[in-house]
Every structure is written in C-alpha cells, then in structure tokens.
Amino acid sequence: MDIFQAQNPAAWDAFLASQAFRPFLQSWTMGEVYRDTGQEPIRVEVREGTDIVATCQAILVDARRGKHLSIPYGPVMRNQESGMRNQVLETLLNELIRIGRQHRCSFIRMSPFWPKLPTPYALRPLPHAVPSPLHLLAEHVWYLPLVTPDPWQSGDRSPAKQAVSEEALFSAMRKTTRNLIRRAEKEGVEIVASPDPVKDVEAFIALHEETRKRHHFTPYTNAFFRSQVTRFAPRGECSVYLARYQGEIAAASIHMHVGGETSYHHGASASKFAKIPASYLLQWTAIRDALRRGDHVYNFWGIAPEGVRQHPFAGVTLFKTGFGGTLLELQHCIDLPLSKRYYLTRAFELLRKWRRGF
C-alpha cells in the first residue's frame, strides 16, 4: 500500500464516481474552485498496486483563528473490510499530519461524509482526535431518493434501478408544499435554468446579498460563487435557476449535479416577493430536471437536528423536509491537534458556539 500526491484528475474523479457516497466537494474541480479563492488544495491518494483505494482532498486554510487543513466531506474510501479501511485511513492521516506540520498548521479538521454508526471505525486509528467544537459542513443531510432501492441506504450502485415517478414524488410531499407549488404556477411564476450560468450568476449574487442582510448569516464570497459556476457549468455540472415573477427575479439558486447526484447548494430570495412561493416551484423544477438527467439522489443539504431551535439550518428545515425525503446523519467533525495553538482556537470556538445558543 503506497500513498502519493495525486496528479491525474480523470482517475481521481473516476474513483469518486464509483463510490457509494460521492460528495462533489471532494471532486478535482472543486479543489480548483478553492485554489481560485486563495486556498491551496492538497490531494493525496492511497493505491494498492495500481488501484486507487482512497483519496483525500484537504484545503490549506490560513484563518485568523489558526492555520489548518480542512477536509470537506473527505476522505473518500473504497468499501473494504473494517481492518483494511482502518489501515488505509491511518496511512492517509499520517501523511496529512506530515503535510500539516510541514505547512505549520495547528490542527486538521476532518468532516467525513460517513453515516453515523454506533462504533464508528473512523475513530480507531485516531487516538489524539477530539470532536470539533463546531460543524464544518452539514451533518444532518436531507435528501430525496430518485431511484429504488434508495442508493444511500442500500449502498447499491448498480445501474439496474428503477426511477421514481414524478407523480410518486409529488404525492409524497407535505400537503402544504404541494399547494404552494400549485399556487406559484397559478400566480404566473416562471422558472428558468439559465442558458448562460456564468452570466446569470451575477443575478444570483445580487439576490444573495439581499438575503444575507435579511438573515444575518456569514456567506460564501462572491468570488467563490463565480468560480464555482465558471468551473463546473462548462462541464455540465452546475445550473443557475432563476424564478421570475412580474418581470423580476423573485428567487434564484445554484444547483450542482455531479456523479449522478443533484445538490441544492446555494439559494436566495427577494423580500419584495416574500408572499409568492417562487422557491417551492424552483425546487420542484430542479427535482424534475434531476429525474430527467437520470440522477439517483436529490440532496437538499443541511437541516437542523430535531429539537435544536438555534441551529443555523433551523430556518430552512421545514421548507426542505416538506418535499419528502430521508435523513442521513453523518459522523461529527473531528479535529486532530498538531500544536498547542489549537487549544486557543478550540476555546474561541466553544465560546462562539455558546453565544450562538447551540
């Protein structure tokens, strides 16, 4: 078993696409988005002979709270017996620790896209790991299976699956959600998947700025949005949806569709049309488009854990779950301290978490 700095984008993405869980944040193209916005991607892969058995894309983050390696929804590992998976994971992490120290990082923050288990194998080779004070990415993921059997529950990646019908998906929604979709249609809302996403991302950015001011959240940068659309749209892996009402844009979104999975990644809406349910029709249009592409999962991304009212995703939970679907709970984010400076970062983040009330 050997570990290398990855050099082949096609081989990297082919390995990702063959796995049960294939988060686009671990795609080669997403690493280039991070590079465009001033954060260096570090890509390592483990091979057994000539076969890739694991990949990990880490992002070098030079933040005020501490320089660190961030691993968004990684590493990605081939399904093997637990003993071999632990050996592969240990090989990966030893290399990441070496790289982190080489770059004078104070810690590594790993947020794997691994279902939560009673005794997660991922913790066995990590004797010095500690639970992160904050989540890096959504850990309660709401998704809609578009084929049967559910590929995220069964782990079945074979092509012999049956697509769920539009009628079945629509009837499984919350009654209120169905009514709001019909109402948007009657009100004359029109949904368009932009033929020129690189141009129309500017309309999304303008609406997103309004949404940010209204809800007081910390957004991605405009440079991030532009790079994400510019990098993925020419590959046919990104759509910008615009909901128009009375000649104006009432809602907009950026959807990713990579490796057979559609992800609702960014959304925005106009307060002027708060009573017009444009976002409901926008989502339903994107779901139907995913079905037509033959995608197997529609990923709404994060919702709040049950009973946690102060969670950052609390405001969108009812909206997302109204479309029907299933919860996938992921393992909590893990920190690997590399220096004593990490504990200053940890104290600061615990204080911030307490102030936010969750």
SS3 100: helix
> Could you list the residue range(s) of the whole structural domain that residue 341 is in?
2-137+331-356
Among 193, 207, 206, 199, CA closest to 250: 207
Which residue is associated with the tokens 């957004």? 219
Q: Are residues 181 and 303 in the same domain?
A: yes
Which residues, other chains included, contact 155 with Cβ-Cβ below 8 Å and sequence gap of 6+? 20, 79
CB 348 within 8 A of CB 172: no
Q: Which two tokens mark 64?
A: 């005020």
Backbone angles phi, psi at 309, to 5 degrees: -80, -25
Q: Would you say residue 222 has pLDDT above 80? A: yes
Q: Are residues 176 and 94 in the same domain?
A: no
pTM: 0.93
Q: Which two tokens mark 96?
A: 């990441």
Q: Are residues 39 and 160 in the same domain?
A: no
- CA distances for 148 relative to 63, 164, 181, 322, angstroms: 43, 7, 25, 20
CB 58 within 8 A of CB 96: yes
Q: Are residues 81 and 174 in the same domain?
A: no
Q: Are residues 73 and 83 in the same domain?
A: yes
Structurally, the chain folds into a number of domains equal to: 2
In the chain, alpha helices (H): 9-17, 28-36, 82-102, 151-154, 166-171, 175-186, 197-215, 222-232, 278-293, 314-321, 342-356
Q: Are residues 129 and 166 in the same domain?
A: no
Q: Are residues 317 and 345 in the same domain?
A: no
Which residue is associated with the tokens 């091979």? 47
Q: Are residues 105 and 146 in the same domain?
A: no
Q: Are residues 314 and 220 in the same domain?
A: yes
Other Cβ atoms less than 10 A from the Cβ of 166: the count is: 13
- Which of 29-38, 42-51, 178-187, 209-218 has the weakest average pLDDT? 209-218
Pairing of strands 66-72, 51-63: antiparallel
Q: Which two tokens mark 169?
A: 């998906």
Task: Give the pLDDT score at 157.
Answer: 65
CATH number of the domain where residue 114 is located:
3.40.630.30
Q: Are residues 229 and 242 in the same domain?
A: yes
Among 286, 277, 278, CA closest to 254: 286
Q: Which two tokens mark 49?
A: 């002979």
CA distance 251 to 270: 6
Q: Are residues 215 and 288 in the same domain?
A: yes
Q: Would you say residue 101 has pLDDT above 80? A: yes
CA distance 232 to 33: 9
Q: Would you say residue 125 has pLDDT above 60? A: no
Q: Quick one: average pLDDT of 149-166?
A: 83
Q: Which residue has the higher pLDDT, 307 or 290?
A: 290
Q: Would you say residue 121 has pLDDT above 80? A: no
Q: Are residues 285 and 351 in the same domain?
A: no
Compute the radius of gyration of the chain from its Cα atoms. 21
Q: Quick one: average pLDDT of 127-143?
A: 89
Other Cβ atoms less than 10 A from the Cβ of 353: the count is: 13
Percentage, residues of the chain above pLDDT 90: 78
Which residue is associated with the tokens 């104290």? 347
Pick left, alpha or beta for residue 301 (phi over 0 → left; psi -120 to 50 → alpha; otherwise beta): left
SS3 340: coil
- CA distances for 196 relative to 141, 238, 289, angstroms: 29, 11, 17
pLDDT tens-digit series, residues 165-218: 999 999 999 999 999 999 999 999 999 999 999 999 999 999 999 988 887 776
